[in-house]
Amino acid sequence: MEFNPFEPFGETFMCKHFNRLGKIDAFSYLPPEYKEAGWDKKNIDRMLRFVVVFIDPQSPLFEERDFMKRRKLAKKVIGIKKDDVENAEIEDEAEVFQELTYEYFRLIHATNYEQWFTYKMQIADFNKYLRTPIEKSAQKVAQEVNARKSLMQQIGSFTEEMQKLENVIFNDDRLAKMINEKAVQNSIGGYAERFADEPEWH
């Protein structure tokens, strides 16, 4: 594994040990409400180690396609117990769990993720256009109809390519749903503002 969660020993955080992880603000960002609840850098680091074991394609757990079974095994491997704050975070699929999962997924699937997301957004834009009323001008009706037929063909082609990518990067439906929802949420806005604070251990 490129980011072996068992490689940084002692007090070394993954974000300090692996430069690529350290460059991603989400891996060192602690929301204010978590700080108030007593979370610190160690909690975030432990969550990141869990996420790596949970979704990395090179993880020995990756072949387990059942989301819940794989999640339980990943917690056991990292040593997250029932009463630990990280366990509640994972079980509730709360903010830090979802953000770390989404950002790590983007990192390890880089090119395939970008292609998949581009297809997804393009299909959404095409469908939005197709829902608009057709121009009533007689000169434009035929042109508009032909343009819409072409778009519908492209939607079919893009959907097919998007599904091929999904078969490669997603190994279970529940993870796919989570990544889909986060991708749409982050595309709407407010993404940069969440990480406006200076990362805590850079």
Q: What is the pLDDT of residue 195?
A: 42
Whole-angstrom Cα distance, residue 6 to residue 39? 21
Query: Is 70 exceeded by the pLDDT of residue 95?
Result: yes
Measured in whole angstroms, the distance separating CA 198 from the mean position of its chain's CA atoms is: 22
Q: In the chain, where are the structural domains located?
A: 14-108+188-194, 112-167
- Cα dist from 73 to 69, 84, 85, 174, whole Å: 6, 16, 17, 16
Q: Which residue has the tokens 């960002």?
A: 29
Q: What is the pTM of this model?
A: 0.79
Each residue's pLDDT tens digit, 72-91: 999 999 999 999 999 999 99
Rounded CA gap, 196 and 178, in Å? 24
pLDDT digits 0-9 by tens, 1-21: 899 998 866 668 999 899 999
pLDDT digits (tens, 9 = 90+) for 115-138: 988 998 899 899 988 888 877 665
Q: Is the pLDDT of residue 141 over 90?
A: no
